Chain A
Amino acid sequence: MRIRSQDFATGLLFLAVGVAALWIGADYPMGTPQRPGTGVLPRILAWCLIGTGLLLWLKAVVSDSPRLTSWAWRPAIMITLATVAFALLIDRLGLIATMTVSMTLVALGTAETRWREYVPFALIMIAVGVGLFIYGLGMPIPILPRDVLWK
């Protein structure tokens, strides 16, 4: 069996989600045949997922599937940080600071970034962002950090 094969890994994912769904949904009521309850479809789907996962494992045993290729850690981590930063900062720091942080994180996600090109681009994006979303569409987002605004 090839642990690092795509089929095996996909099977593992499906199995894990299926078992988790059964576990979490164990106490969802099944209702009656005439009035199927909350638990019917989740349970059916969980078993279907488990079945699919097992079949994929079987397939991984009997035949070759491509190996998992290496992960692109740098863009994956940086893009994740960029969205998380946006979510955490937008209500607190306002649009300009949030955009600066989250766009810079994206730029750090690839080795191809040229800073001389990025800085003017980021300034244009911030101008577009403030102009379009706050003045244009009237979204209730502060432009500057709250504290600065109120002092």
Chain B
Amino acid sequence: MEVGTLFSNLALGLSVAITLQNLLWCLAGAVIGTAIGVLPGVGPVATMALLLPVTYLLPAEGALIMLAGIYYGAQYGGSTTAILVNLPGESSSVVTTLDGYQMARQGRAGPALAIAALGSFFAGCVATIAIAIAAPPLTRLAQQFTPPDYFSLMVLGLVFAIVMARGSVLKAFGMVFLGMLLGLAGTDVNTGNTRFTFGIGDLFDGIGFVPLAMGVFGIAEIIANLTNPERRDLVSAKVSGLLPTKDDLKRAIAPVLRGTFLGGLLGILPGGGAILASFSAYTIEKKLSRTPEKFGTGMIEGVAAPESANNAAAQTSFIPMLTLGIPSNAVMAMMIGGMMIHGIIPGPQVMEQRPGLFWGMIVSMWFGNLMLVVLNLPLIGIWVRLLLVPYRLLAIAILFFCCIGVYSLNNSANEVLIITVFGLVGYLFMKLDCEPAPLLLGFLLGPMMEVYMRRAMLLSRGDPWVFVQRPLSLTFLILAGLLLLFVIVPNVRRARETVFQEAN
């Protein structure tokens, strides 16, 4: 793509993002994101689910800018808790605890926080540009997709979600199927028949995305978190000497660059996102280091790389969502939920029909990152104080906001009963060690896949081979198959070994 178009696109985005209103929504997203990032046990998915009803009141641009801010803001906030309390505020900050907390114990919390924030800022800027460059060609490609291509692309997306899910592949498969089945409940738009409604009027429109997500992520997490008594060892409420030394900076530059690159790449993969990126970045730094044995004792590289990587990945994971309309992880599923509330159907047409929204959101990420550096470095003391709020009180606030948020969707108390049910279901999933993210993706993609399947079958006059006759569709299916083989084969081998051992 020509550089000129890139600049005119970014200029358009700038004109949207820089309005006072949108800057304020961006700030709101960044502040909320940092807050929930700092608080352990409150994640971006649950928060975004909680705020979806509120975004209904905002213009579409403001709503999406704020929701996006919550996600990357949480990446900044998560590192603060990881470094100061040895607890990951977000799951993507798990590895930051290893060296970050050690640095804090040595009285170097300031430099650790500064490097984490500056590395994240750099990664965020690079990722913003990456989205701006990658989005138009991908969108053009997506515009040539026919219904079978879309169907197969969604199959590939779900397979990615299965492969990347932590834990058992079989369980992830089941969760996708379960999610798709839940997504089909309600009235079938093509035929007008109702499915799985049990004659309950509230289910004729299907199960709402917000109550489902809020139950499985919000309510279930409260139950799980109240079970485990918490221990927080705050190193010190006062952080002095924020500035990293010259030596710190010199050591951090290369890890930041590598982390940004790796995170940006892994973020694009469906099912990827921030968690995978931070783990991989830490592993690579350890492998490349001349002193790998020192990792875990307060190496600044072990903070710089994963923190840059998780922020880069958080942002590039917007690429498949924005260009193809396919959510690559649970957070992107929330973004799609936010778009649908405003009547925007995610997909390649968004960039053409709503260029202001599309580019405005991308440019707002840059502003958001700048705000986050300011919010996180000079104001660190405020966020630390937030950690003094015990979870037993947070739980009360979260539950209330969940209930009133769902109620406000349609002023319907029955929707609150739906989150009750899915809260218990979500807790059951936790007990069974089934990750809920694939379920959420299946829930969103299931009905979309049915629509594309029907269109494809209609166009092919009932010939199911159409899915392998179209070259793009075939490519996606082959990729999906290869990916599955890739994860299943070692499993098969291991299972067989176990059988053989028991036989002997």
Which residues does A use to contact B, with CB under 8 Å? 6-7, 9-10, 13-14, 17, 21, 24-25, 28-29, 31-38, 41-42, 45-46, 48-49, 52-53, 55-56, 59, 62-63, 66, 68-69, 71-72, 75-76, 79-80, 82-84, 86-88, 90-91, 99, 102-103, 106-107, 109-110, 112-114, 117-118, 121-122, 125, 129, 133, 137, 139-141
Contact = CB atoms under 8 A, between A and B. Distances in A.
Contacts of B105: none
Contacts of B453: 36, 41
Given A80-B423, A87-B417, A17 B181 contact: yes
A114 B450 CA distance: 51
Contacts of A109: 226, 395
Nearest to B425: A13
Contacts of A63: 495, 498-499
A97 B20 CA distance: 39
A-B interface, 6 closest residue pairs, ranked by CB to CB distance from nearest: A33-B462, A34-B462, A72-B227, A87-B416, A75-B226, A52-B174
A29 B168 CA distance: 34
B346 interface: no
Interface in B49-100: 54, 57
A139 B408 CA distance: 7
B230 to A, nearest CB: 8
A45 B492 CA distance: 23
B226 A91 contact: no
A18 B495 CA distance: 25
Contacts of B191: 29, 31, 37-38
B173 interface: yes
Interface stretch (B260-268, B271-279, B318-326, B396-404): B396-404
A112 to B, nearest CB: 5
B461 A34 contact: yes
Contacts of A48: 173, 177
A14 B498 contact: no
Q: How large is the interface on B (under 10, 10 to 19, 20 to 34, 35 or more residues)?
A: 35 or more
Interface of B: 54, 57, 168, 170-171, 173-174, 177-178, 180-181, 184, 188, 190-191, 193, 195-196, 219, 222-224, 226-227, 229, 390, 392-393, 395-397, 399-400, 402-404, 407-408, 411, 413-414, 416-417, 419-420, 423-424, 427-428, 431-434, 446, 449-450, 453-454, 457-458, 461-464, 495, 498-499, 502
Contacts of A87: 403, 407, 413-414, 416-417, 420
Given A72-B224, A133-B404, A112 B462 contact: no
22 contacts: A6-B431, A10-B433, A29-B191, A29-B193, A34-B458, A35-B457, A36-B453, A36-B457, A38-B190, A49-B177, A79-B222, A82-B403, A86-B413, A86-B416, A87-B413, A103-B396, A103-B399, A109-B395, A121-B393, A121-B396, A125-B396, A129-B404
Which of A6, A33, A106 has the most CB atoms of chain B within a 10 A radius of its CB? Answer: A106
Nearest to B398: A106
Contacts of A110: 226, 392, 395
Contacts of A141: 407
A41 B222 CA distance: 34
B403 A86 contact: yes
A35 B455 CA distance: 9
Contacts of B177: 14, 45, 48-49, 52
B226 A140 contact: no
B269 to A, nearest CB: 24
B226 to A, nearest CB: 4
A35 B393 CA distance: 54
Contacts of A129: 400, 404
Contacts of B428: 13
B457 A33 contact: yes
Contact of B462 (A10, A17, A32, A107): A32
B403 A83 contact: yes
Contacts of B392: 107, 110, 112-114
B180 A45 contact: yes
Contact of B403 (A29, A102, A139): A102
B7 to A, nearest CB: 40
Contacts of B411: 139-140
